[in-house]
Amino acid sequence: MSSALLADLRARGLVFQVAGEDELPAWLDGGSRTLYCGFDPTADSLHIGSLVPLLMLRRFQDAGHRPLALVGGATGLIGDPSFKAQERQLNTPDVVAGWVEKLKAQVSRFIDFEAGERSAEVVNNLDWTAGMDVLSFLRDVGKHFSVNAMIQKESVKQRLEREGAGLSYTEFTYMILQSYDFSELNRRHNCSLQIGGSDQWGNITGGIDLTRRVNGEKVFGLTMPLITKADGTKFGKTESGTIWLDARRTSPYAFYQFWLGTADADVYRFLKYFTFLPVVEIDALEQADAERSGRPEAQAVLAREVTRLVHGDEGLSAAQRITEALFSGELGALSAEDFAQLRQDGLPASTLSLSALPDTLTQLLTEAGMAASGKQVKDALGRNAVLVNNAAVGWDANAEPARVFCAESALFGRYFLVRLGKKKYHLFELG
């Protein structure tokens, strides 16, 4: 059963490095095992960078194992230096504690807590570090670590070698804390496998070594590859910033759109990473797309699957509803109820008062958040890239917002759907 899991993970390209490679398949096949992955609270929500590990926990659970999601209430107070170019600023304990609670809830949506023996659990490393005193830490944990070995780790090397950067003792200690987590989870929960992103390799092997020394236990590690894009730009960022898992930060519609915009060169790989679709199905889809000319179907499948995983069926249908309405080019087909629904569904929207319009369109659209500055709106207006209810508006109208936004041209007497560029929409409702 479980060596089948490993084979599938490999086929998906999800296995980057394995510690204990020779024995891992047999160990997994030998029964229901406990594994963990850590998520540090660096914000009040995880972003899609955490999606691969989260789904990985689920993949293991579906294969009969027991996942622990560790939320780093302690490590989040320290900051992981791994492959970070600079020292990070510390957040206050109460802020981190608040984020821990948010992440707990978020993480919980991806794993099953009602699965009998393989039921998932959320743990917090603050539980076993908060009460520890410095001397115990130094004598019982720190003594097992060789600084000579620690400074050899790739993850901190650039910080140690690079001119203009540095590494505080605090962040340097991060590795020890995370290693201690592994040994504690091994002791408390018989957890014997840690998974994480490839940047976590140094921390994971540190934990493996410590667990062997203090518990005398052989434990395993597995890392997933860094998600890259074919064009070399960073995955997970877009014009409007990070793609978050929290619907309040990134609406299901924006989330769906993000995946829909995946490049052809990346989409089949992403399907393997981010969905539970069988590899053979994905390969078949790739084949079909290649044989057909024109637009591939893969992006739509990817967007649908991932949006459903993160936002559920409701989030998905809201996202699809908006997408359909906006990109079908048939605004006329929308009813007044549809507009109300779009706003409900998370289409960026705001209320407009005809009697209190700003002096210029640039002001109006900038304030609505459609562009970062008036210059961008100006540029768009000058290129006929602003459409109000599907009618192009030119730069000459900039000083006369009242001409564009008048009661007569409002759809259903109250709606203005403004499009800036190809993809940015904003709904104004008279109020």
Partner RNA sequence: GGAGGGGUUCCCGAGUGGCCAAAGGGAUCAGACUGUAAAUCUGACGCGAAAGCUUCGGUGGUUCGAAUCCACCCCCCUCCA
- Residue 297 DSSP label: S
228 binds RNA (CB under 7 A): no
The minimum distance between CB 82 and RNA, in angstroms, equals 17
Query: Which residues, other chains included, contact 159 with Cβ-Cβ below 8 Å and sequence gap of 6+?
Result: 81, 84, 85, 165, 166, 167
Binder of RNA out of 31, 166, 278, 394 (CB under 7 A): 166
Which amino acid would we find at residue 230? A
295 binds RNA (CB under 7 A): yes
Positive or negative, the Cα torsion across 375, 378, 383, 389? positive
List Cα–Cα distances, 203 to 152, 179, 208, in angstroms. 12, 6, 9
Nearest to 73 by CA among 124, 128, 122, 12: 124
Stretch that binds RNA, among 4-12, 19-27, 290-298, 330-338 (CB under 7 A): 290-298
Nearer Cβ to RNA (218/375): 375
264 binds RNA (CB under 7 A): yes
Burial 130-151 (b: 16+ CB within 10 A, else e): eeeeeeebeeebeebbeeeebe
239 binds RNA (CB under 7 A): yes
The minimum distance between CB 418 and RNA, in angstroms, equals 12
Tokens 């229901």 correspond to: 32
Distance CA 175, CA 172 (A): 7
Binder of RNA out of 91, 238, 242, 317 (CB under 7 A): 238
- Residues in region 410-429 near RNA by CB under 7 A: 420-424
Nearer Cβ to RNA (120/167): 167
Binder of RNA out of 335, 375, 396, 406 (CB under 7 A): 375
Please count the residues of this chain forming the interface with RNA, following the rule CB under 7 A: 50
The minimum distance between CB 234 and RNA, in angstroms, equals 8
Q: Strand order in 121-124's β-sheet? A: 17-19, 220-224, 191-197, 34-39, 66-71, 121-124
403 binds RNA (CB under 7 A): no
164 binds RNA (CB under 7 A): yes
389 binds RNA (CB under 7 A): no
Nearer Cβ to RNA (61/360): 360
Distance CA 137, CA 345 (A): 50
Query: Which residues, other chains included, contact 9 with Cβ-Cβ below 8 Å and sequence gap of 6+?
Result: 15, 56, 59
Nearer Cβ to RNA (34/398): 398
Binder of RNA out of 263, 290, 333, 392 (CB under 7 A): 263
3-state per-residue secondary structure call for 228-257: ECCCCCECCEECCEECECCCCCCCHHHHHH
383 binds RNA (CB under 7 A): yes
Q: For binding to RNA (CB under 7 A), which residues are involved? A: 87, 160, 163-166, 230-231, 233, 237-239, 257, 260-265, 294-296, 299, 323, 326-327, 359-360, 362-363, 366, 371-376, 378-380, 383-385, 398-399, 420-424
